[in-house]
Chain A
């Protein structure tokens, strides 16, 4: 048996890993995290999100580009999670290089609770490729592949 430990992260944990700050944090919770390999995240589509006042007036649709960003943020957490919470890393960043074969299969609307699944396909040095699937209940909303480079920054032990 493989006693691989699955890790769960709340919003505070996520914000301590991501270089992004609200309102540009696009994942709510991370679960089933296997560092460097795979993870899942919950993304709640808040009906109060101001994006819906303009995208589109009277016909609220969550922008696909934000779904890609959410998957990219989950990828960053998957790679940069450190078990030692006393390690703070500065100036880290992930740079999205290629979005490949990304397909939006269904429209995402206010109130949906999305599950983002992410799997690392390959990593070579600071370059990585991941595949992702975004679903609502059993329905696939989008899927695709992302390539990016990771700058892990410098670590400071507090």
Chain B
């Protein structure tokens, strides 16, 4: 596995914990969230208000500002897309 993939897997793992904590998803274990499963809709079943919370989290934790709902839908599509975006745009 390359260094980039290691970094992405580590970030994906961290993101799952952060999302569970931020959205108070007490019944879900991070291990139960597949990297490629939709975060919204039929996946974790989150809604637009949860999306707003994740946008706030991204700004606070990774200095990433998202204002366009279409862009947010794309970035927050799966854990995988989210991790990919943070690695290419964010800063810890």
By a CB distance below 8 angstroms, the chain B residues around A127 are 48-49, 51-52
Q: How far is the CA of A148 from the CA of B49 in the complex (A)?
A: 7
User: Cα distance A125–B66 when bound, in Å?
Assistant: 11
**Is B69 part of the contact surface with A, judged by Cβ < 8 Å?**
yes
Q: Is the interface of B mostly helix, strand, loop or mixed?
A: helix
Binding site for B on A (CB under 8 A): 97-98, 121-129, 147-149
Chain A residues lying within 8 Å of B56, measured Cβ to Cβ, are 121-122, 129
Give Cα A123–Cα B69 distance, bound, in whole angstroms: 9
Query: Are A129 and B53 neighbours in the complex by a CB distance under 8 Å?
Result: yes
Residues of A within 8 A of B48 (CB): 124-127, 149
Q: How far is the CB of B77 from chain A (nearest CB, A)?
A: 15
Interface size in chain B (residues, C-beta < 8 A): 13
Compute how far the CA of A97 lies from the CA of B72 in the bound complex, rounded to whole angstroms: 19
Report which B residues bind A (CB closer than 8 A).
47-49, 51-53, 55-56, 59, 66-67, 69, 72
Q: How far is it, in angstroms, between the C-alpha of A126 and the C-alpha of B55 when the chains are bound? A: 14
Measured in the bound complex, the distance between the Cα atoms of B17 and A140 in whole Å is 34
Inter-chain contacts of B53 with A (CB < 8 A):
129, 147
Which residues of B are found within 8 Å of A147, using beta-carbon distances? 49, 52-53
> Measured between alpha carbons, how far is A82 from B68 in the docked complex, in Å?
21
10 A-B residue contacts at CB 8 Å? Answer: A97-B49, A98-B49, A124-B48, A124-B72, A126-B48, A126-B69, A127-B51, A147-B49, A147-B52, A147-B53
Inter-chain contacts of A123 with B (CB < 8 A): 52
Q: Which residues of A contact B55 (CB under 8 A)?
A: 122, 124
Q: Which residue of B is nearest A122, CB measured? A: B56
Minimal beta-carbon separation of A5 from chain B (angstroms): 23
Residues of B within 8 A of A121 (CB): 56
Interfacial chain A residues near B49, Cβ < 8 Å: 97-98, 127, 129, 147-149
Which residue of chain A has the shortest Cβ distance to B70 in the bound complex?
A: A125
